[in-house]
Amino acid sequence: MAHVLIATDMSANALNAAAYAIQLFGVEGNNFTLLNAFQTPPALPDQPPPANELAARISAEDLEIHARKLLEALPEPTPDLATVSAYGSVDMVVRDLVEDAQGPGIVVMGTHSMSGPERMFLGSTTAAMIKSGVLPVLAVPAEARYGEPRRIVLADDGGPLERSDLAVLLDIARWSRSEVMIVHVVTEEESPDTASANDAFDQLLGAIPHTYHTVSG
């Protein structure tokens, strides 16, 4: 059973990402939580503090509306959606949620087109969440439409890897019967000897169909 956290700013991209994730993981046996992390501007000298209570109420109300829109956009059966409205940046709020015994195992986020090569593809909030390393992140492109996966690309940089790191990937690969393509990324100066890494992946993936590929970059 997966606990999927869906971070949303209530945009159309976020709605699409949420619908994609729910269809990908499926309703049966999984829990889904919609999260809106809100922030208010700092107080100025000689002025009252920002209206955090008002911001919290607006966030909670808008999140309920967003949840209803999401359920209307999904095919039957639809999931029971929990909602969380919390003050702070997304990565900070997610850190707090992960500490709970029933905390999420993955966070889903939509992407936005922004300036800069990295942000053009990911969006600043999504990029920050990925860099934090708190949870695996499923970043859903704005134009993505759900289709049952057939191949999953796993990029390997040679770093240490535990079974827990691949838990979500393994679950998706099993139920979808997808092929996992392990891509070893090496620099031009590095030797492409990946035999030991391949042995480790063989043990982790077991009977899941998988192939190995090497690229330089």
CATH number of the domain to which 110 belongs? 3.40.50.620
**Spatial separation of the C-alpha atoms in residues 176 and 68, rounded to whole Å:** 28
**Spatial separation of the C-alpha atoms in residues 109 and 128, rounded to whole Å:** 11
Given this model, what pLDDT does residue 112 score?
67
Q: Are residues 85 and 189 both part of a single domain?
A: no
Given this model, what pLDDT does residue 190 score?
64
The CA-to-CA distance between both ends of the chain, in Å, stands at 37
Q: Are residues 18 and 77 both part of a single domain?
A: yes
Q: Are residues 135 and 156 both part of a single domain?
A: no
Range of the domain at 32: 3-140
Residue where one domain finishes, among candidates 114, 140, 166:
140
Given this model, what pLDDT does residue 120 score?
43
Number of independent structural domains in the chain: 2
CA triple 25-29-148, angle to 5 deg: 20
Asked, for residue 146, whether it belongs to a domain, the answer is no
Q: Are residues 119 and 198 both part of a single domain?
A: no
Residue where one domain finishes, among candidates 140, 170, 204:
140
Given this model, what pLDDT does residue 25 score?
92
Given this model, what pLDDT does residue 196 score?
75
**What global pTM score does this model have?**
0.83
Residue % of the chain over a pLDDT of 70: 86
**Spatial separation of the C-alpha atoms in residues 141 and 148, rounded to whole Å:** 16
Q: Are residues 9 and 86 both part of a single domain?
A: yes
pLDDT digits (tens, 9 = 90+) for 65-103: 999 999 999 999 999 999 999 999 899 999 999 988 788
